[in-house]
Structure 1
Amino acid sequence: MTSTYKHIVHYYETDRMGITHHSNYIRWMEEARVYYLKEIGWGYDHLEEIGIMSPVTKVDCSYKHTTTFADEVSIHVSVEEFKGVRLKLKYMMYCKEQLVCEAYSEHCFLNKDGLPIRIKKEYPEFYEALVNEER
């Protein structure tokens, strides 16, 4: 499943040249990821409530085209890879049907003490939700 999150570029997200500063795409990835997990029934608030933390371990962005103030950016999020320990999400960002950014984020899963969690063993329902989402 691919989930689509929409973001309107805010004025403060642009630089002196009037284009979106590259750092904002990383923020949008987080917004889209939070939205995606909620869409599949595992919102961040619920994950933290049951003791799952999911820090970012890697981010990769390839910028294809600029965006500007008031542009609507559609961010398509999907599970690129999940093997139970590491989750890799893919983000395809479009503005007016033009690809503006292709990106990936990788995450691990930790308990509240910062120790790795075996999702398949400790949270099988969450594991199944992610496995079923993998491309």
Structure 2
Amino acid sequence: MKKYPGYVRKPFYYETDKMGIIHHANYIRWFEEARVDVLSFMNYPFEKIEADGIMIPVLGISSEYKEMIRFGDEIVIQPIVTKYTGTRMNFEYRIYKGDTLATVGTSQHCFMSSETNRLVHLKKQHPRLHELFLDYYESTKESL
């Protein structure tokens, strides 16, 4: 798999707080934007996953702020898969402002059937998607 270049974004003014820095709640949205962008990069967009009857709920999320990000800064978000089992997947997000690591976050997910609300084993039930996630996991392991 070709290496994912990262999700490039410029924060909007409405995402700032009274101190002129990005409000912490926006980082969770940015993590999701990066995950959705990775799926498009893998040529398996989120819409296709949903059409296949798969949900990917968030089980947990965290964020650690190292440097302030402000309106007008250009950032790159690198979503790295830290664990993939075929039923669960964990991400680490590294947000860079230039060469500076500004934020590190994590999220934990599982794969569920939208029809039954039960856990889905991608290797058995959706082997193509399983292979894509496995390839992405392997391609990002070196970043850890």
Is 2:124 aligned against 1:121? yes
Q: Could you tell me how far apart the structure 2 residues matched to 1:85 and 1:133 are?
A: 15
| Residue 37 (structure 1) shift | 1.1
Aligned counterparts of 1:48 and 1:122: Cα–Cα separation in 2: 14
Which residue of 2 is the match for residue 73 of structure 1? 75
For residue 22 of structure 2, give the secondary structure of its aligned residue in structure 1.
Answer: coil
Q: Calculate percent identity across the aligned residue pairs.
A: 36
Quote the residue 2:35 is aligned against.
33
The residue that corresponds to 2:45 in the other structure is 43
Q: After TM superposition, where is structure 1 displaced by more than 6 Å over at least 4 residues in a row?
A: none
The residue type paired with residue 6 of structure 2 is: T
* Gap regions ≥5 residues in structure 2: none
Contact kept? 1:2, 1:78, Cα under 8 Å: no
Measured in 2, the distance between the counterparts of 1:60 and 1:86 equals 17
Task: Give the C-alpha shift of residue 3 in structure 1.
Answer: 4.0
What stretches of structure 1 of length at least 5 have no aligned partner? none
- Between the aligned partners of 2:88 and 2:106, the Cα distance in structure 1 is 13
Report what 2:135 is aligned to.
132
- Opposite residue 97 of structure 2, the aligned amino acid is C
Asked if the contact 2:4–2:41 (Cα under 8 Å) also holds between the matched residues in 1, the reply is no
- Give the letter for the 1:12 counterpart: Y
Amino acid at match of 1:109: F
1:18 corresponds to: 20
Q: Kindly provide the amino acid, as one letter, of the partner of residue 121 in structure 1.
A: K
Q: CA RMSD in A?
A: 1.1
Partner of 1:109: 111
Aligned to 1:95: 97
Task: Work out the number of aligned pairs and report it.
Answer: 135
Q: Scaled by the length of structure 1, what TM-score is found?
A: 0.95
For residues 52-67 of structure 1, what are the structure 2 equivalents within 5 Å?
52-67=54-69
